[in-house]
Structures are given as structure tokens and as C-alpha cells.
Amino acid sequence: MNPDTLAVVLDQPQQLRLQRLALTPPGEEDVLVDIEWSGISTGTERLLWSGQMPPFPGMGYPLVPGYESVGRVALAGEKSGRAVGDRVFVPGARCFGPVRGLFGGAAAHLVVPGARTVTLAQGLEDQAVLLALAGTAYHALAAPGARLPELIVGHGVLGRLLARIAVALGGSPVVWEQNPQRTSGALGYEVKDPAADERRDYPAICDVSGDSQILDRLIARLAPGGEIVLAGFYHDPLSFSFPPAFMREARLRIAAEWKEPDMQAVTALIGAGRLSLEGLITHRRPAGEAEEAYRTAFTDPDCLKMVLDWRGLA
């Protein structure tokens, strides 16, 4: 079997097109997935698109972006642990031969080990592209000994998921957002312009702004012994003034991507009705309009989350 696929390919920064690529033939532990929807990340994928991604394992062009894909299993290897017809979440793939998969999810068909996929509950359709961000948000909050954040900086999709998960776990965070176009949509928490917030004793702050110049501002709002969690992605070096951090005995933690227990936890919260994914996908485009969709996702402030629809595009 020699499958192929249409895929989004970044030949170089800001040069994106749909291209037909050969797929790695699936083995006995693999599944071939017919992708229905894929999300566009305004964090890491924006950096790949703009050429601002710092040195990263496997980095280079041409590449297939994307790590938020949902589809049906079309072929299941004997040892894949999946069955034909399963709807699964796919967090990217490396199945395009010489074309890098970074992170390799934006394609009509993917070959991936079955163990890397997440079987979805009935009724969870294109919103399931949000599972990677939900798992990442949970990972940032659930580290051993971590306190739930009382301040979250940024009200994009990741910030909203952080706030919703914090509320589901018993917290009551404040979220900072300066863009008036992004202040609506709070579910069980308060959104504030930082200029209107006088509090300076937050014991736990989680930042997803991506602003590499923000640490001094956050340290000034931190309680003694407090912690700042960096859960966004920063393409410039971060720095801070030492004396204020010293006086507060501030702690700094960097949260990486989700792990399997985080995905299990968020799918359980969703299944129990404690975590909603409603209202986070604002834009949808056919995958044939990928170039326009990526530009909209990265340049339109009204676009929280763009989803490509691959159905019918072979």
C-alpha cells in the first residue's frame, strides 16, 4: 500500500500551499486516518509561518504544520489498538518522507501509531481539535504542588481554557486582557484590563501572553513566595530585574506540552460536563482555502480559533 495525501506545506516563511505528498506506508501498529478537521495554532504555528520560531528539534522547511487534527480511522493495523471507524484526535504525525512534520497534522490523511491517537466520545466533532490546548492548559495547572492561578494573563483560546479548567477545579481566577475585542466570553471568571487591577498579592500567576517583556510587570503583582507559570511560547529571550524578584522570593515555572494523563483528565472533565469547549472556534474554512485561512488566523484579532474542514478533499 502506497497512500498519499493533500497537505498544507510551508515551503518557507509566509509561503504556504496545498501539495500532494506520499505517505509512509502504515505498519501493524499504525492507523491511517481520514482527517475531517484540523485547527490552526496562533502560537507555535504562527512562529513557523512568520519564520520567528527559535531553534527547535526537527526545525526546517519545507514542513507540514499542525497538531490539532480529528478524523476517522480508515485502516487499523493489528497491533494499533484502534478499529476502523473510530473517531480520533491526532496530535500531529511524521509520515511525509523528506518533508518535515512539524507538527504534521494539517493533511487530508495521516499515518500515525494508534497509541498516539485519542479515541473520542460520541458527539465530540470539530471542537475536539481543541483537546491539545485543553491538555496543555491542564498540564500547566496540575503540576505536583502547584496552586491554581488567581491571575491568568491573556484571553485567547489557551487563556480561556486555563480559566475554564481552573473554575472546574474549584478556582476563581481573574484574567487580564487589553484587547477590548477579546474581553467577552468569560464563563465563571472575571476579565479585566490590567490597568484597572490594583491587586499586588497574587500567589499564583499563569501567563499565556507570549510577551517576552512581561516578567517585571508580573513580578510586581506577585505575593511573597508566589509563583509565575509561563504556559505560552516565547520567541525572544526573557529577562527580569533581579531585586524585586529577590524581595518576593519569586518562583518561576515553565510548563511544557500535555502528557497522556493530562489528556485523560480533560476528556473526563468534558465527559462529566464540567469543561465546555463552546464558543472557542470562531472561524471555519474549507481546507482548499488554507492559505487564506492561515493568514486570517494570524492577522484577524476577531479570530480566536480557525478550523480547516478536510471533508470531501481527497
pLDDT in tens, 223-270: 999 999 999 988 889 999 999 999 999 999 999 989 999 999 999 999
Tell whether the model's pLDDT for residue 296 goes beyond 70: yes
CATH for 4-120+280-309 (3.40.50.2000, 3.30.565.10, 3.40.50.300, 3.90.180.10): 3.90.180.10
- How far is Cα 307 from Cα 291, in angstroms, rounded to an integer? 13
Q: Domain extents for the chain?
A: 4-120+280-309, 132-254
What stretch of H or E contains 172?
Answer: none
Q: What's the pTM value of the predicted model, to 2 decimals?
A: 0.94
Query: pLDDT tens digits, residue range 114-161?
Result: 999 999 988 889 999 999 999 999 999 998 889 999 999 999 999 999
Mean pLDDT of the chain: 94
Tell whether the model's pLDDT for residue 313 goes beyond 90: no
Nearest to 40 by CA among 23, 65, 15, 60: 65
- How far is Cα 259 from Cα 121, in angstroms, rounded to an integer? 19
Nearest to 248 by CA among 219, 270, 276: 219
Nearest to 257 by CA among 151, 116, 134: 134
SS3 for 186?
coil
Please give the pLDDT value at position 104: 95
Please give the pLDDT value at position 141: 96
Please give the pLDDT value at position 117: 97
What average pLDDT does range 183-187 have in this prediction? 94
For the domain made up of 132-254, give the CATH fold: Rossmann fold (3.40.50)
Tell whether the model's pLDDT for residue 294 goes beyond 80: yes
Query: pLDDT tens digits, residue range 26-42?
Result: 999 999 999 999 999 98
C-alpha cell at 179: 484587547
